[in-house]
Structure 1
């Protein structure tokens, strides 16, 4: 290789070998060769985290001392979802400039990224013998001296075996799975625990549920670490007879002289393994050893290692280290699916992995079936979630020779014969939703509501714990918090094995499906009824109490799975309504909509199309839909309630009155504020008559009227009403109630819109802390308070603090609510003008255009929010130099906002201000001054002479008058505006400082949540 010099034996090279875990046999052999030639060698397995940029991960290799030898294979380049182009860019950026530090060998015939040429020529070791491979390696690294013998030797020799050479004794090992993925922690831990164990104690059991990949992990361990052994013997251990036979067959392979009897051969084998003669380095794999009691006495001891695969935790009682094989992590699942079915995209693989809960066997067979099928992945996932029979379409492989449900049914049949109580408990679990199952809820069901056989199980702690232990023992279920996370599981032990530390267990989706599929209709009704009663009994019945939300969060996932939506039991129906209330209050809008729609479909089926329950359900449904911005849909639904239910029950029915309030909220969302005010006042009159002034519903309606007044620009009236509502809520509901905190937020918002920024900031800071404490940091109402805090900071001059908080809010609102949620769009609109004011024009334009286009699509071109966002966009265009387009858009926005809200609304006045400034810049001074003079008059009347917007309009007028050379009048107008700003905001406020320097004035549109 060009540029390398030969070294002498006295010189010691420092070489770090970078390798994919799959190629560990090559890494071990190369390290052995180099060490025998006097090199200092370190092994570094290549598996960078997916979030680390590839260039950074490769650059980290240069932090080591000496040379870096990379073992090239398709596996090396498959670590993480990296594209070929990413690899090419990284190799050119890191390896090419540091070619003297890097060297490479290739151990594959697969095509590699073209930029591997950056290594300057890799030594080809694939397909050659040990001597030639050694020669090429030595030549690559410029090593001088005698080429050592690379052949393997017998007995205790510590040198690594050449990867193409099998151990001298090799029997029954499955072929290597070329799609094997991940499991690096499992394989490395097993190797470490076996290697570090004292002689005679090196036994590790790979434990896990059916289909989790225990056998595949054991097979990969054999192929990856097999070069460290002289004997590798794979034994099916499902029965004692099979194990005895396969162990006896090892005798002739070891060269032992014995008779033909199994017993004699078995004794000879166990004695040879114990003594390590003729081979001390041996590995015995007992696969499928699910009955420890029958075979534990046959497990050999001695100088070698034993690896067991099992579903049975009882191995923990037989001097073996347990290592729980988990399901794949998500990156492993995605990589595995994409190797199995190239047509499946990364996003689809992620969705499929989530639906199958990352279970390797299910992923393998499902991806295999989808690989050649035209069925969309999304359609398959829907079939899976609906409980459809999808087993017929699964594709088995040599690696997984039976479907998951078949494998699970074998375990279930075994339990049915030996542990019927455990099967009954499992059937109860199956009427909860898959995933976390709160078994303790079953203990609260009164015995009178239970069938006799289940009452005996649930009321008998010994029988209950024994059944639970059996399910955990056979890995059918697992504790939802399995121990300390080291893979060995957790739990205390009872007379029948381990008992979970918690009675919340985890049931995999496919196990859940398998249990339910095998139940009769009568059994299904019996077990589902018990679970429904358990859920209803656990209802705290106070969905507004934030302290109880964690209990509702536990119950809601199980409503549909348990059949609760089809139940006619009054307490179960009440649980559904309470759950919907909880989902709305806690901000889980999408989950609430999903539950409401499922309940609507079920209740129409059970009760008929005209049942009164459907009207009450529709009322809650509209509230949830409105929270995600579906105002047109909710307007239609509420008008239908008012018309149809009002005709039956009369206009004073409380559900009808609630619909009036809902309709007002719909109209606010649609920008029809005067209509909304009429509906709000209609609802208030009816509530005052029907339930009185102090009722929560009356207070909520007063709050809603203030919201509408605020949207109409009548900020002083809104503040007066919000303060009264706050006082009454504090008296009726107490100060920490979420509705009371909401009134505090409203008051702070009113104060800010009135220009009383310091008062608003002081109130909002306290309000944010209260919301975080009562509702949690990610509740939409808490996020709304933080948004108002950010805008208070911005108005008081803390631009850095405001920008930082808005940046966090933009990410959090999208994560919690989605990018089209009203709150997220409001944050985006506000963040855009903050970016513009701080000079980040690219971000201002990108975020602002996103908000503008979203409003156009969701609300239409004539909605005030769309018009206002367009006016903000015009300001960005003006700053970046597109002045003509900016002025055209501003003039159009003024015309449209005037048509929608009238000339005296603060939003219209703000756009008029921007329009006048734009005319001034275009030297249209007469029209600018005319508009500014009219704007000052209207703003003074609508907002008062001391409002910041009125004063800003005066500054614009002064600028226009100065341009017209009316300097005396301009100075008078400017002085009056400055005095007003000093009086209201102070001498050092950013608005005052900007006015003194005669900086260009403008107004930013800010959408208000309806």
Structure 2
């Protein structure tokens, strides 16, 4: 503390300043907007333009920089006040001691401490030039008599959101990235801006950790890559347990102390819940409601209402997580340190409990867009549990309900057009379940089926075929040829063969599946209609356009009756029927149907979903065949650009757009550019699909047919 002492020749009066503050942080960085908010709320205008004396509460987790912000404000504005006094407020006794010392500085005396505090409040009520800072006020109990009177200004810092009821609440969040980089560069001048950015991202821009890590890197001279490895593998040895220059406890101590307090204030069950949450991802975790007391709410089920409320309340008040929009979220370093403090032998059991906790979430149909926002919230947690399972000691069994959840998430990623992410999750899952459950377990086979589906969407047809062939063989042996899962595998394998150019092989598999389902399920069952849809696609590729049109028209009609107008499967049928109509020269009907499908898909799936882009692509083909070459060219070029961004230059769908765009250029007599694009497309198809693939041969013929420019 720096205290401006009173003169020795008389009692202190309101005209003589008293400033008692900790030393200023010379490395204080940024926070310009927050400092302005504090200042504005300290000196806000009241009715009639008169200045009101503000009370402000700075709320946030441990290490977020509340104390440093309050200290910087107090030093910047110290000359505005005749009295500035810093109170360490972590315990009522400490507050009492600090206020008693202030009373003594003001020349006040009393027989009892409580009477001395009352005299202090009388003194402060008579003047308007004071600022008190209550730092780290986390226990409201017993504080009623220790809060000052109105008149001056009070600045409070604390983790408990309830403290925000005292005055104006300002939530303190992490540094902006440029603030993190600035502080890291001050503490470790040798750190490049690029490396500072990587380090800041790794510590989640938490000010305390930015300070600690900057000092640690400067002292140790570690290369950034080595430090990031250390932070991930041994976080408690990465400088996070060091005290800062301002003697603030390290983040490790803050987290461990808070977790210990959770046990004493909310009980072991709340602490066990916190440990399970630490095995999920450091992303928002939606909280469900107790289904026994009302309509269920989306989120994890924490138990009965009273138990859940106590646990969440204490976790938040101790600064171990934030609670917003009915979700809990830990900072990534708190998440890492909570997991690191647990003995490795306990990880397996807690990981299993975390799987069971996440599986309490009830999710909708992964095929429909209405359910996708909820799925998007839990994907990070599924990925985290799957990724961390590999590091667990011994063979661990996945929770059965969690496996069901994982399979639904894989399907969601496929239908929402996120196949690249889905492939990663499917591969991790399949490898894990192969070892834990065996290759013939239904869940292992289902995950393999989902993996192949997403490989297909990425244009990896040969890889998809290999996986589908294995899954189909195992399902035939384990489940039998007539099992619906076996038939689904046969159809998916047929799709691989079709896009690899084996149209006859695809037709044989699809026709067999269609016959099985008609016999087992009936003509209008959704699965039978799916089989007929696949068969129609094969016939289209084999040149039997009339029969393909008739099948697709019948399937579309039945799907509208069974599934509804805007069901994804209904839209698939309409899309394929429009393609048939276009190839048969029924261009007006094709154009009308394509525009209707496009409107539906844009509304339900978004502009850049793969299915939306497919419909736009075929709409451009129809425009071309109607002779509307400029319109076709504009649409094809736009779809081509978006497919390149979404899939890359070599994806089969991207190459289809490039081929159609080149056709438009040729029709518009831009022969030089058409030839260049057809040549590039042909070369890419040779590399991706092989020289004998029908699409490659089609490109070769188109290239040869481009006229030589005069």
1:216 pairs, out of 68, 89, 109, with 68
The Cα of 1:742 is off from its aligned counterpart by 0.8
Secondary structure (helix, strand or coil) at the match of 2:141 reads: helix
Deviations, residues 452-496 of structure 1 (Å, cap 9, x unaligned): xx99x833x344434433333344333332xxxxxxxxxxxxxxx
Q: Determine if the alignment matches structure 1 residue 175 to structure 2 residue 24.
A: yes
Residue correspondence of structure 1 range 257-268 to structure 2 within 5 A: 257=107, 263=113
Q: Determine if the alignment matches structure 1 residue 458 to structure 2 residue 313.
A: no
Secondary structure (helix, strand or coil) at the match of 2:35 reads: helix
Partner of 1:391: 236
Distance 2:485 2:192 in 1: 48
With the length of structure 2 as denominator, give the TM-score of the two structures.
Answer: 0.77
**In 2 relative to 1, CA 630–353 (structure 1 residues): closer, same or farther, beyond 3 Å?**
farther
Partner of 1:589: 419
Matched-pair contact (CA < 8 Å) for 1:619–1:655: no
Which consecutive unaligned segments of at least 5 residues does structure 1 have? 1-154, 158-166, 447-453, 482-501, 865-895, 923-1010
Partner of 1:195: 43
Secondary structure (helix, strand or coil) at the match of 1:479 reads: strand
Secondary structure (helix, strand or coil) at the match of 2:426 reads: helix
Q: Determine if the alignment matches structure 1 residue 477 to structure 2 residue 316.
A: no
Secondary structure (helix, strand or coil) at the match of 2:223 reads: coil
RCO higher in 1 or 2 (8 Å CA, sep ≥ 6)? 2
Partner of 1:293: 141
**In 2 relative to 1, CA 852–700 (structure 1 residues): closer, same or farther, beyond 3 Å?**
farther
Partner of 1:748: 578
Partner of 2:153: 305
Q: Determine if the alignment matches structure 1 residue 684 to structure 2 residue 511.
A: yes
Partner of 1:145: none
Distance 2:93 2:545 in 1: 87
**In 2 relative to 1, CA 706–526 (structure 1 residues): closer, same or farther, beyond 3 Å?**
same
1:416 pairs, out of 250, 263, 270, with 263
Matched-pair contact (CA < 8 Å) for 1:370–1:377: no
Partner of 1:426: 274
Secondary structure (helix, strand or coil) at the match of 2:24 reads: coil
Partner of 1:487: none
The Cα of 1:342 is off from its aligned counterpart by 6.8
The Cα of 1:585 is off from its aligned counterpart by 1.7
Distance 1:581 1:817 in 2: 19
Matched-pair contact (CA < 8 Å) for 2:59–2:161: yes
Residue correspondence of structure 1 range 851-870 to structure 2 within 5 A: 852=680, 861=687, 863=689
Distance 2:603 2:434 in 1: 40
The Cα of 1:535 is off from its aligned counterpart by 4.6
Distance 1:835 1:248 in 2: 87
The Cα of 1:722 is off from its aligned counterpart by 3.4
**In 2 relative to 1, CA 480–623 (structure 1 residues): closer, same or farther, beyond 3 Å?**
same
Matched-pair contact (CA < 8 Å) for 2:629–2:667: no
The Cα of 1:755 is off from its aligned counterpart by 5.7
Partner of 2:207: 360
Q: Determine if the alignment matches structure 1 residue 574 to structure 2 residue 426.
A: no
**In 2 relative to 1, CA 573–313 (structure 1 residues): closer, same or farther, beyond 3 Å?**
closer
Matched-pair contact (CA < 8 Å) for 2:43–2:52: no
Residue correspondence of structure 1 range 64-83 to structure 2 within 5 A: none
With the length of structure 1 as denominator, give the TM-score of the two structures.
Answer: 0.57
The Cα of 1:507 is off from its aligned counterpart by 3.2
**In 2 relative to 1, CA 223–902 (structure 1 residues): closer, same or farther, beyond 3 Å?**
closer
Bigger drift between 831-840 and 806-815 goes to 831-840
Distance 1:593 1:657 in 2: 22
Distance 1:174 1:831 in 2: 68
Deviations, residues 637-692 of structure 1 (Å, cap 9, x unaligned): 234445666677777776565444434433454xx41x243134234324523664
Residue correspondence of structure 1 range 547-566 to structure 2 within 5 A: 547-559=370-382
Q: Determine if the alignment matches structure 1 residue 511 to structure 2 residue 334.
A: yes
Q: Determine if the alignment matches structure 1 residue 735 to structure 2 residue 565.
A: yes
Partner of 2:598: 768
Secondary structure (helix, strand or coil) at the match of 2:43 reads: helix
Matched-pair contact (CA < 8 Å) for 2:164–2:170: no
Matched-pair contact (CA < 8 Å) for 2:136–2:157: yes
Partner of 1:913: 705
Matched-pair contact (CA < 8 Å) for 2:279–2:354: yes
Q: Determine if the alignment matches structure 1 residue 662 to structure 2 residue 506.
A: no
The Cα of 1:212 is off from its aligned counterpart by 1.7
Question: How many residues matched?
Answer: 673
The Cα of 1:273 is off from its aligned counterpart by 4.3
**In 2 relative to 1, CA 370–769 (structure 1 residues): closer, same or farther, beyond 3 Å?**
farther
Distance 1:349 1:756 in 2: 62
Q: Determine if the alignment matches structure 1 residue 544 to structure 2 residue 391.
A: no
RMSD in angstroms over aligned alpha carbons?
Answer: 4.9
Matched-pair contact (CA < 8 Å) for 2:28–2:72: no
Bigger drift between 722-731 and 526-535 goes to 526-535
Matched-pair contact (CA < 8 Å) for 1:313–1:474: no
